[in-house]
Copies of this chain bind each other. A is one copy, B any other.
Amino acid sequence: MAPAAVTIANGATWQDVAADRQRYRDATIAEVHPPVPELKSEDIPLNTTGIPKKLLTEEEIKITGTNVEELVEKITSGEWTSTAVTKAFLRRAGLAQKLANCITELLPKKALERAAELDKYLADSKKPIGPLHGVPISVKEHMGFKGEDANAGFVGWVGQVPEEDSLILQYLWDAGAVFYARTTQPQTLMHLETSSNLYGATVNPCNTTLTAGGSSGGEGALIGLRGSILGIGSDIGGSIRSPAANNGVFGYKPTTLRLPGDGWTVAMHGAESIIGTTGPLSTSLEGLRLFSKVLIDQQPWLKQPSLTAMNWKDSAEFFPDKKLRVGVMYNDDVVRPHPPILRALTELVGKLKHSPDIEIVDWSPWKHDLAWSIIASLYFADGGADVRAAIELSGEPWLPLSKFILVDNPRVKEHTITSLWEAVSAREEYRTKYAQLWNETASSSPDARPIDVILCPAGPGVAPKLETSRYWGYTSQWNLLDYPAVVFPVADKVDTLEREKPFEYPEDYVPLGEEDKYIYDLWKKHGTEGYKDAPISLQLVGRRNQDEQLLKATQILLEKAGLPAVVPS
């Protein structure tokens, strides 16, 4: 049990509360043994990803370099104990905190107790306790955690301590998981970055001038540094996909209401016009699939009845001949992606075109600006009153990206019931039209088969400079439509000026609008050098509730393009 926290209820200032949270975080890291190596800030280069390998033991590097699917095998076969695995990840996560500021607390005591239990179970019964036996899983802070703080990024909420784990933790626990680290998130949970008054900003380990993305940015950075190989995020506008893309790891936003959400800490409880979902980030595509399958196989709808009672489908059911019809969208007609993204997408499509099994079709975006209008008018249907109250509770300052999305966002308004119903009707009309357009792609196919997936950017660029993540359209589009989406790295990063040239903006480029101008200006200002070493990622999108098909399609697509389905360790 965490010690009683300093809270505003006890009369503390927001600064006191934040300082105490950071003290607490550091104390939990100090409990790790052997101690997490100290770093001098002058030793830290812009790209920190090489540091853990210099400071960890060979065994720790090997363990943390293993992906979920192999790790389960190595633990259940007895090659590594759960205890050894847990210790390795605790050490690497502690280091990740010093490099990227991504941890709210480590849980060495609880995690090692659990690991010991699992080791004993395996020794006694000669079988694993479940399909995730011994897998360390990192957890975004706002997933309710028994006996730990649940502040969701608001200083004023510090001191809330759930009496039981959120449902997703319960199911993962039953499957054998070890929870050892909790990770940062931004104020409001509604930034595509991760900055709060509690912990400051989480930075990108590949280039610390860039954001790790958000709101699951703690997960993104931690997994980017392999301080975790599987983490729990959540996504209502890009919050799993932006950090996955920015850190070059795999991320998956499922169709809503397939994975458990009960017991998370969020503002606007009861809002259901646009809903978020939990989902995984991982160093492997298989990690995403295994996480989801393990949860759904436990029939979580029996405890959270809002969930869809839909069994996890065996991926062998889909695309048995491994032929895919892929719609490609280079540009959403609102914001032109930065050159590295256009280059990577073009190169990937070029590779796919060489495969006789892949058919590439153009996908024309249909009014993605309207889509943003609709979703932005539904995010804060109370005009932001509930979030505002949560911020103002402690007197903590409004962070710039909170102001951007809520205060300065012209689409936010306080709805009446009647205007809410109108906006919901507009949402449904949009969804129906988009479905119709997707159906119509069958007409261009010799066998009248619509496209299987849409391949598109995961954002307007690679990881943005801090506080510049102000265009959500490439991710929020699929939240509005409730389409599942996977983000994957293309095994490439921003490095050489030369290769970007064919994708540079034309000399006489005229921005499509204000948002495009903003993104264009960022490129002109920072260019290749400014985004140096940022991973390049893309997004694959499926139809609503066709999650299993999407994951299988991603696997096939990577295979056909000759790309790895794991992040190199």
Contacts of A386 in B (CB 8 A): 418, 421
Task: A310 to B434: give the CA distance in the assembly, Å.
Answer: 20
Q: A74: CB under 8 A from chain B?
A: no
Q: A370: CB under 8 A from chain B?
A: no
Are B308 and A421 within 8 A (Cβ)? Answer: no
Q: Which of A4-12, A239-247, A266-274 contacts B (4 or more CB under 8 A)?
A: A266-274
Partner of A439, one of B302, B414, B439: B302
Q: A22: CB under 8 A from chain B?
A: no
Q: A316: CB under 8 A from chain B?
A: no
Partner of A418, one of B303, B304, B382: B382
Q: Which of A190-198, A285-293, A422-430 contacts B (4 or more CB under 8 A)?
A: A422-430
Given contacts A270-B421, A546-B309, contact A436 B382 (CB under 8 A): no
Give the residue name and chain of the B residue nearest to A439 (CB). Answer: B302
Are B546 and A432 within 8 A (Cβ)? Answer: no
B-contact bits for A378-389, CB 8 A (1 contact / 0 none): 000111011000
Contacts of A545 in B (CB 8 A): 301, 308-310
B-contact bits for A297-319, CB 8 A (1 contact / 0 none): 00001111110111000000000
Q: How far is the CB of A388 from chain B (nearest CB, A)?
A: 12
Partner of A432, one of B262, B417, B439: B262
| Docked complex: A404-460 residues within 8 A CB-CB of B | 414-418, 420-425, 428, 431-432, 434-436, 438-439
- Of A308, A386, A415, A423, most B-chain CB atoms within 10 Å: A308
Are B272 and A306 within 8 A (Cβ)? Answer: no
Are A435 and B270 within 8 A (Cβ)? Answer: no
- Of A305, A421, A424, A481, most B-chain CB atoms within 10 Å: A305
Give the residue name and chain of the B residue nearest to A546 (CB). Answer: B309
Are B417 and A544 within 8 A (Cβ)? Answer: no
Are A308 and B305 within 8 A (Cβ)? Answer: no
Given contacts A271-B421, A420-B270, A425-B269, contact A431 B382 (CB under 8 A): no
Contacts of A438 in B (CB 8 A): 302
Are B270 and A425 within 8 A (Cβ)? Answer: yes
Given contacts A269-B425, A270-B422, contact A306 B431 (CB under 8 A): yes
Give the residue name and chain of the B residue nearest to A425 (CB). Answer: B270
Give the residue name and chain of the B residue nearest to A547 (CB). Answer: B309
Contacts of A428 in B (CB 8 A): 270, 306
Task: A304 to B546: give the CA distance in the assembly, Å.
Answer: 15
Give the residue name and chain of the B residue nearest to A383 (CB). Answer: B417
Are A382 and B421 within 8 A (Cβ)? Answer: yes
Given contacts A382-B417, A418-B386, A420-B417, contact A431 B305 (CB under 8 A): yes
Task: A434 to B418: give the CA distance in the assembly, Å.
Answer: 31
| Docked complex: A292-344 residues within 8 A CB-CB of B | 301-306, 308-310
| Docked complex: A334-368 residues within 8 A CB-CB of B | none
Task: A301 to B483: give the CA distance in the assembly, Å.
Answer: 13
Task: A481 to B416: give the CA distance in the assembly, Å.
Answer: 26
Give the residue name and chain of the B residue nearest to A268 (CB). Answer: B421
Are A423 and B308 within 8 A (Cβ)? Answer: no
Are B381 and A417 within 8 A (Cβ)? Answer: yes
| Docked complex: A143-187 residues within 8 A CB-CB of B | none
Give the residue name and chain of the B residue nearest to A273 (CB). Answer: B272
Task: A271 to B415: give the CA distance in the assembly, Å.
Answer: 13
Q: How far is the CB of A283 from chain B (nearest CB, A)?
A: 30
Contacts of A415 in B (CB 8 A): 417
Are A303 and B417 within 8 A (Cβ)? Answer: no
Are B270 and A424 within 8 A (Cβ)? Answer: yes
Task: A431 to B305: give the CA distance in the assembly, Å.
Answer: 7
Are A436 and B303 within 8 A (Cβ)? Answer: yes
B-contact bits for A43-70, CB 8 A (1 contact / 0 none): 0000000000000000000000000000
12 new A-B contacts at CB < 8 Å, known A270-B420, A310-B545, A414-B417: A270-B423, A271-B421, A302-B543, A303-B432, A304-B435, A305-B435, A308-B310, A309-B543, A309-B545, A309-B546, A381-B417, A382-B418
Q: 22 pairs across A/B with beta carbons < 8 Å?
A: A268-B421, A269-B421, A270-B423, A270-B424, A272-B272, A301-B545, A302-B435, A303-B432, A303-B436, A305-B432, A305-B435, A305-B544, A306-B428, A308-B308, A308-B545, A309-B310, A309-B545, A310-B310, A382-B417, A383-B417, A385-B418, A417-B420
Chain A residues with CB under 8 Å of chain B are 262, 268-273, 301-306, 308-310, 381-383, 385-386, 414-418, 420-425, 428, 431-432, 434-436, 438-439, 481-482, 543-546
4 nearest A-B residue pairs (beta carbon): A270-B421, A309-B545, A270-B425, A270-B424
